[in-house]
Every structure is written in C-alpha cells, then in structure tokens.
C-alpha cells in the first residue's frame, strides 16, 4: 500500500513540485517519502535535464570507437519512465563502477575525447567557476583494464589558460612524453588546441588512479576525474591454431577474492570558494607568512553542503542553501562493497568513517595490496593525504539492522591548518541509504571517532608478496632536503625548496626538459640522475619543515622503508654519516662498512606507494627501481606548495648530460613553450 503511494508520487515528480498549493498533511507526507533530491528547487531539477542529455551523449562518445561491451549510461535505467530513477541514477553514476565490462575482456584500445571548459556551477551551493570535462564536474570516470591502450584527445576549450593532463599513478612506461607535466614533458595545451595522450597501461598495473591537470593550479578548481584500471580476470590459453586467447576466469576476479558485489568510486577532497588563482596569489605573497589557505568546504564526487550563513562577511559568496546537498550513497544493505577512495583535495588529509558498517583496507594507492586484515569491526580509515588512494571493503555488521540508513563521515585533518576558517565544517556526514525508499535522515546520529575502530593506514604494511620484491640494498643513494622558506631575496614570498633550488617549469630555453640535454636545463631543476642503467635507488628525503608534505613521484612506485618524525631538532638523516645512522638505527651493527650487504631498515613494515606523507622535521627513505626511462617530477601534492616550487626532477636512464630523452620535443622553433 505504502509502496504504491511512493511509486505514484515519484512518477509525477516534476508536476508534484510545480504544484504550489498543497495541504499540510500532504506536505509532511511528501517530506517523509520524497528522496532528498526531491527537496531541490524545481530550477535545479530542470537544469538536470540537459545534464542527463549530455551524459547520454558522452556515453556515446566514450564508447563508440572501441570494441568495448556497449553499455551506454542510458541503458542502465531500469525503468526509464520513472523520473526519480533517472536522477537517482545520476547520483550513482558518479560512483558506480563497471568492472564486469573490463575485467573479463581482452586488452583493447580506447579512443576518448576529453573536452575541457569552464562554467559557473554550485557544487556545494556556492557559485563558482569550475572546470568541466565533457560538461561534467568532476570529469567522466575512465575505466579500463591492465594492458589497455589509451588514445585520449584532450581539447582545451578554456579561453585564456593553458592546460595539461596527468595520469596520477600510472607507470607511463615508454611514454614519458605523455605524462602531462608542463615544463617537464610537454608545453601547455594552448586555448583552442588539443593534444593526444597515447599510452599503454602496463600489463601488471591495476587499481585506483585519477587524472588531473598538471598546469597552473587548475586541479583545485575541479580539473580532474577518476581513472580505474580493473584487474583482468582472464587466463591465457592457446586455441587450436596456436593463437593466444584470453578466457574469462571468475575465480581470478577481485570480486571473488574479496567477496563483494559492487564497486563505488568516491572522489573526496577539500574545496575553495574563491578561484584557485586568487587563493594561490594570496598564499604566494609575503603577507600570508607561509600560512596555507584553509579550504571552505568538502566535496564528494563533486557535490557538497555549505551553510550559507557560515560565509565570512569579508568574503561574500553567492550561495543557495541545499542547492546541491551531498548525494546519498545507496547500498543494498545486504552484501559487501568495494569503495575506491581518492583524496582529490589540495591541502587536507581525510579520514572516512561509517556509522554502521565495518571496513577493511585492501589496497593503497595504485592497487597495491596490503597485509590481510582481520575481520574485526573497524569503522574508519585514514589519513588519506592529497593524491593518495585507498580501496576498502565495506560490509554490513552482524547484529546491526543492515537495512537501516547509515552515515558516512568525512573528516579533514586539521593539523596543517595554521590559521582558522570559521566557514569550514571540517567534519561532515552524508547519508548511506539501504534502498532509495529510505529517506529519514534524522534517524541516524553521528558517532564520534573511535580509536579502537580506526585503521591507521600509515601503519599498514604492503602484502608480503609485495615486500618480497624489495632488494636488501639499493645500488645508489641520493639525499635531498626540503623546506618551505620565506627568503628576503625572494620578497619573503613562501617558496618550496629542494636543497637550494625552488622549482619552476623549465623556461630557458623554453622547451620541455624531456626535449633538452640535461646540461641545458635552467637552474630551477634540481635533479637526481640515476644514470643510463636500470638501478635500485634509495632517495632519502629530509623534511626540515614544520609541516608534513605528501610527496608524489611520477612514473614509479616506491617502497617506504623508513618514516620518521622528530620530537626535537631537525630529525634529519644522513645515510653516510655514522652518527646519524646510529642515532636512528642503533642496532645497525656495521655502519662503517658502506658495502655491507643490507641496510638497517625494517623491511617487514615497508609499504609500496606512489604518494607518501613525509612528517614534519623528519625524513623518509624511499626505495624504487629506476628503470622507467624519462624525466619525472617528484613533488608535494599540496597545490599551494607545488605552486611555490616544492618539486624536483628524477632523471631516469638518460645516456649522459648531453643527450636529451626526446630530442624531437625541442627540434623546431614551433615547439617552444610559451613561458
């Protein structure tokens, strides 16, 4: 009976909302049964219609040129006649992944168009010019499988800014020039022009990645999207003509291994209401005194919640309350889910917790499995720093009524907020519904974070199979110091340094580094060069700063062999200095012998990642195999620090300092970058 009523109501959504006069009983009724989005003003609902049309169009563009299983977005609507399903689908669309379309097929070539533009939107109710990719914010989620080849044409339809795209965490083997770092591997794509990113995903790489601008500070204003590489669940065999054939093998699917039903992607990050360029120019000014700008809001898959009356009088915003409230997550309540969580933010780390479900971390960063975790009831995991990813399995808890609505809470790590921002609510929850029919949000209360139920992902080592690949000793060791400094010779503007060098995109001569011999690089490129042969490298990074920094290395994963935060002094480590070694590794029994067989690090706790939070006044020892030829950026993923120059270069397998990796990138006057 009740169900029928709801159905009718939903079928007539647009009319329902258009009717201005309703009596009180009807109205309360509606409150109780309407889905949260029904509370949106009509204008917003109407504005969703073109959005859906575009989504359909995109689905066509996205899937046309390949032999992918065609499952365009529109076909996913179970009952297209029911308007509410459409909208609900939009919500899921942002998050629901399609492993079944990728895990069981052979590798293929995907030809995609990404068209970048800007437009005014209200992601959390506050009007802001954001970047759209194919009219979507965040950009469309790209899904693939290991071994797929991408031919991605990125168009720059932005009027006055150059752009570029980076594929965060992908190896880019033999494709350094497709890495997207302006000044390092390419010039910016000028307005009105486009650039082909053609590369192949390594056959052994799978996991949760994302793509984002590596130009200016555009990532902060939304120039990003999810990139998921599904692990193939196929086996190779020879057919009777002796050709290799890939065959479906369900037993190999992650889904069977971890026993979950569906996969959802959550792109979670802090959000600024002012344009990123304004925020950056405030920070890169003596008056900021190096205090990082504190964000205003939090977005989950491009939507957030902002209480308009919290806006600071000095910084008026064009705000509509409840304009685009955080979308509910819809889980079916019975089975387990895989959540792929990305911190797409610019400054703050995040912790994610669930009120009623239990979670378990299975991979960190680019699909790297971690040590198997017990089935204990853990309800939160973090801290996930900007650029980092974690995959978690979410399951219903025995004894809880699993069909009752729950809450997911995102909490920003405030330890790097040196100044306040009264507008920001650093801890926000949004509903987890167990059926689209559940709408009673008030019945769930936020639970306080519970330490016993928290998974500290920094203490979770990689799976033993991953750690088994670490050689006992690296062939090279490099040492660098990093810090944000405000020097009078640089007008007291905060600048990020590696040793004595602050990074700026190569400008003299104005070609990407990959196109120039190393001896031609300008003096903003502090470089660790690993030589012509593939080698194992230890990179010791001493962070002299008062704040921690999430460092990301392009093109490589690294084993984190040691992480240290000092309680006094600088906490720096010099692997060649006996005193320093003994201070940190007192059990290192043979420190004088530089040729001894093993280093003092505790490999049993090592984690393989592509982005590491290096503690304040401390250090990290990162070990990686430098066998991926090219010039790769190593940089802080806090956008403000990168904008201030906190980056350096790792030059892998260059013949010498007078041979460019890709000489054609500087072959003609035409290829000059406009810096």
Ligand X SMILES: *[C@@H]1O[C@H](CO)[C@@H](O)[C@H](O)[C@H]1NC(C)=O
* CB 636 to ligand X: min, Å: 16
Q: In what order do the strands lie in the sheet with 368-369?
A: 303-304, 297-300, 262-271, 337-343, 389-396, 357-364, 368-369
Min separation Cβ 105 and ligand X, Å: 20
Which residues have C-beta within 8 Å of that of residue 221, sequence separation ≥ 6?
118, 128, 129, 130, 131, 275, 276
Q: Which is nearer to Cu ion, 55 or 647 (CB)?
A: 647
Nearest residue (CB) to ligand X, 151 versus 249: 151
Q: Which of the listed partners (Cu ion, ligand X, none) does 641 bind, with a CB threshold of 5 to 8 Å by partner kind? A: Cu ion
Write the CA distances from 574 to 36, 596, 613, integer angstroms. Answer: 56, 17, 19
Q: Does 549 bind Cu ion (CB under 5 A)?
A: yes
Q: Which tokens in the block code for residue 564?
A: 């240290």
- Binding segment toward Cu ion, per CB under 5 A, in 17-25, 207-215, 586-594, 628-636: 628-636
Confirm if 321 and 124 have CB atoms less than 8 A apart. Answer: no
What residue 480 binds from Cu ion, ligand X, none (CB within 5 to 8 A, per partner kind)? ligand X
346 or 423: whose CB is closer to ligand X? 423
Where along the sequence are the contacts to ligand X (CB under 6 A)? Answer: 111, 151, 196, 198, 307, 309-310, 478-481, 499, 526, 528
Residue 196 interacts with, from ligand X, Cu ion, none (CB under 5-8 Å by kind): ligand X
Find which of Cu ion, ligand X, none residue 505 binds, CB within 5 to 8 Å per kind.
none
Does 636 bind Cu ion (CB under 5 A)? Our answer is yes
Residue 638 binding target from Cu ion, ligand X, none, CB below 5 to 8 Å by type: Cu ion
641 or 661, CB closer to Cu ion? 641
212 binds Cu ion (CB under 5 A): no
Nearer to ligand X, 153 or 517 (CB): 153
Which does residue 636 touch among ligand X, Cu ion, none (CB within 5 to 8 A, set by kind)? Answer: Cu ion
**Shortest separation between residue 673's beta carbon and ligand X, angstroms:** 18
Q: Which partner in Cu ion, ligand X, none is near 634 (CB below 5 to 8 A by kind)?
A: none
**Exposure string (b/e) for 446-469, b if CB count within 10 Å is 16 or more?**
ebeeeeebbbebbebbbbeebbee
To ligand X, the closest distance from the beta carbon of 32 in angstroms equals 19
Using an 8 Å Cβ cutoff, are 265 and 207 in contact? no
**Smaller CB separation from ligand X, 196 or 285:** 196
Binding partner at 580 among ligand X, Cu ion, none, C-beta below 5 to 8 Å by kind: none
- Of 151-159, 329-337, 425-433, 545-553, the segment contacting Cu ion by CB under 5 A is 545-553
Q: How far is the CB of 47 from ligand X (least distance, A)?
A: 23
C-alpha torsion angle, residues 200, 203, 209, 214 (rounded to 10): -30
CB of 298 to ligand X, least distance (A): 15
Strand partners, 150: 110, 199
Candidates 176, 178, 183, 174; CA nearest to 165 is 178
| Residue 292 CB, nearest approach to ligand X (Å) | 24
Nearer to ligand X among residue 55 and residue 116 (C-beta):
116
Of 640-669, binders to Cu ion (CB under 5 A) are: 641
Closer residue to Cu ion in complex, CB, 95/349: 349
CB closer to ligand X, 112 vs 266: 112
Minimal distance, residue 524 CB to ligand X, in Å: 14
Our CB check for ligand X shows the closer of 89 and 530 to be 530
Q: With contact defined as beta carbons under 8 Å apart, do 583 and 446 qualify?
A: no
Of 129, 132, 85, 126, residue with least CA distance to 323: 126
Q: What angle do CA 474, 477, 483 make, to 5 degrees?
A: 135
Ranges of H-type helices in 170-285: 254-258, 276-283
Dist. CA 39–CA 26, nearest whole Å: 14
DSSP annotation of 294 reads P
Minimum CB distance to ligand X smaller for 277 or for 478: 478
CB 494, min distance to ligand X, A? 20
State the binding partner of 154 from ligand X, Cu ion, none, CB within 5 to 8 A by kind: none
Q: What is the DSSP letter of 360?
A: E
Residue 549 interaction partner, one of ligand X, Cu ion, none, beta carbon < 5-8 Å per kind = Cu ion
Name the minimum Å distance from CB 394 to ligand X: 27
Q: How far is CA 571 from CA 584, 616, 617, in A?
A: 9, 9, 5
Stretch that binds Cu ion, among 282-290, 349-357, 630-638, 654-662 (CB under 5 A): 630-638
Shortest Å distance, C-beta 516 to ligand X: 18
CB neighbour burial string for 365-389, b if at least 16 within 10 angstroms, e if fewer: bbbbbbeeeeeebbbbbbbbbbbbb
Q: 350: which strand partners? A: 384, 412
**Is 635 among the residues that bind Cu ion (CB under 5 A)?**
no
Helices (H), 515-594: 578-584
Min. distance of Cβ 259 from ligand X in angstroms? 39
Least distance in angstroms from the C-beta of 243 to ligand X: 24
Would you say 309 or 587 has its CB closer to ligand X?
Answer: 309
638 near Cu ion, rule: CB under 5 A: yes
- Number of CB atoms found within 10 A of residue 390's CB: 25
Residue (80 or 532) nearer to ligand X, CB: 532
Backbone angles phi, psi at 300, to 5 degrees: -120, 120
The H or E element containing residue 85 is helix 83-95
Report the distance separating Cα 430 and Cα 96, nearest Å: 17
Contact segment (CB under 5 A) with Cu ion among 79-87, 354-362, 445-453, 546-554 equals 546-554
Number of Cβ within 10 Å of residue 640's Cβ equals 26
**Helix extents (H) in 475-610:** 578-584
User: Site residues (CB under 5 A) for Cu ion?
Assistant: 549, 636, 638, 641
């Amino acid at each position: 009976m009740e169900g029928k009523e709801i159905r009718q109501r939903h079928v007539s959504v647009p009319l329902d909302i258009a009717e201005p006069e309703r009596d009180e009983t009807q109205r309360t009724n509606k409150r109780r049964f309407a889905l949260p989005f029904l509370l949106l003003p009509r204008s917003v609902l109407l504005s969703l219609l073109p959005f859906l049309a575009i989504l359909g169009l995109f689905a066509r563009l996205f899937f046309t040129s390949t032999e992918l299983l065609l499952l365009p977005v529109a076909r996913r609507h179970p009952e297209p006649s029911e308007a509410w399903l459409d909208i609900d689908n939009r919500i899921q669309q942002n998050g629901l992944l399609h492993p079944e379309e990728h895990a069981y097929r052979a590798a293929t070539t995907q030809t995609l168009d990404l068209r970048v533009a800007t437009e005014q939107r209200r992601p959390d109710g506050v009007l802001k010019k954001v970047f759209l990719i194919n009219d979507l914010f965040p950009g469309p989620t790209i899904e693939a499988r290991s071994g797929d080849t991408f031919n991605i044409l990125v168009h720059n339809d932005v009027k006055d800014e150059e752009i570029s795209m980076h594929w965060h965490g992908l190896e880019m083997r033999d494709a350094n020039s497709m890495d997207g770092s302006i000044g390092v591997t390419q010039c910016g794509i000028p307005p009105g022009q486009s650039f082909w990113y053609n590369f192949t995903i390594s056959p052994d790489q799978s996991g949760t990645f994302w793509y984002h601008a590596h130009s200016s500070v555009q990532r902060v204003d939304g120039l990003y999207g999810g990139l998921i590489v599904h692990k193939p669940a196929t086996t190779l065999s020879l057919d009777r003509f002796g050709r290799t054939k890939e065959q479906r093998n369900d037993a190999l699917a992650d889904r069977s291994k971890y026993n979950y039903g569906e996969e959802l992607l959550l792109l979670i990050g802090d959000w600024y209401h002012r344009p990123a360029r304004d925020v950056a120019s405030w920070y890169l000014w003596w008056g900021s005194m190096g205090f990082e700008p504190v964000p205003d809001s939090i977005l989950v898959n491009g939507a957030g919640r902002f209480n308009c009356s919290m806006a600071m009088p000095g910084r008026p915003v064009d705000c509509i309350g409840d304009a685009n409230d955080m979308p509910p997550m819809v889980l079916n309540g019975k089975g387990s889910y895989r959540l792929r969580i990305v911190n797409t933010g610019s400054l703050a780390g995040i912790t994610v917790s669930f009120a009623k479900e239990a979670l378990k971390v299975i991979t960190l960063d680019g699909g790297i499995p971690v040590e198997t975790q017990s089935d204990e009831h853990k309800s939160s995991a973090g801290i996930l720093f900007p650029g980092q990813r974690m995959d978690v399995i979410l399951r219903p808890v025995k004894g809880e009524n699993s069909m009752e609505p729950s809450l997911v809470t995102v909490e920003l790590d405030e330890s790097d907020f040196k100044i306040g921002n009264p507008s920001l609510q650093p801890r926000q929850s949004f509903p987890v519904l167990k059926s689209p029919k559940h709408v009673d949000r008030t019945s769930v209360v936020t639970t306080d974070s519970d330490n016993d139920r928290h998974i500290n992902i920094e203490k979770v080592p990689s799976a033993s199979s991953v750690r088994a690949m670490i050689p006992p000793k690296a062939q090279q060791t490099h040492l660098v110091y990093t810090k944000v400094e405000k020097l009078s010779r640089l007008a007291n503007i905060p600048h990020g340094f590696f040793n004595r060098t602050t990074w700026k995109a190569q400008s003299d001569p104005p070609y990407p580094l990959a196109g120039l011999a190393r001896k031609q690089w300008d003096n903003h490129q502090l470089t660790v060069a690993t030589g012509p042969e593939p080698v194992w490298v230890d990179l010791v990074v001493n962070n002299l700063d008062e704040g921690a920094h999430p460092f990301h290395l392009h093109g490589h994963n690294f084993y984190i062999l040691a992480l240290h935060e000092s309680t006094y002094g600088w906490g720096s480590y010099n692997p060649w200095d006996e005193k320093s070694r003994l201070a940190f590794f007192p059990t290192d029994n043979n420190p004088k012998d530089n040729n001894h067989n093993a280093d003092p690090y505790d490999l049993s706790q090592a984690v393989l990642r592509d982005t590491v939070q290096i503690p304040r006044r401390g250090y990290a020892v990162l070990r990686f195999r430098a066998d991926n030829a090219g010039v790769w950026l190593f940089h802080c993923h806090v956008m403000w620090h990168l904008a201030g120059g906190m980056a350096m270069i790792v030059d892998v397998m260059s013949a010498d300092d007078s041979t460019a990796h890709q000489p054609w990138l500087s072959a003609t006057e035409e290829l000059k970058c406009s810096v």
